[in-house]
Amino acid sequence: MAKDDKKGKAPKAKTIRVSKKDAYAVTKDGKIERKKKHCPKCGPGVFLANHEDRLACGRCGYTEFAKKK
């Protein structure tokens, strides 16, 4: 026995955790500064993931390409 105990346990699905604290920063003035853009489709609360040349929403797939200056 003993070694078969793990059998039947489904592996836990990985949950992608987005920490909201990374999305905001408090300035010296005590103001809250949004560091990340939120998704125009999903609305505030869903932030766009920062990629090298684009911003992408992990929820709906919205992608916004960074404008090159």
Interface with Zn ion (CB under 5 A): 39, 41-42, 57, 59-60, 62
| Cβ neighbours around 47 below 10 Å, total | 22
Query: Which CB atom, from 18 or from 42, has the smaller least distance to Zn ion?
Result: 42
Determine the Cα–Cα distance for residues 62 and 23; give it in Å rounded to an integer.
18
| Cβ neighbours around 48 below 10 Å, total | 21
Query: Which CB atom, from 8 or from 44, has the smaller least distance to Zn ion?
Result: 44
Query: Which CB atom, from 35 or from 37, has the smaller least distance to Zn ion?
Result: 37
- The least distance separating Zn ion from the CB of residue 45, rounded to whole angstroms, comes to 10
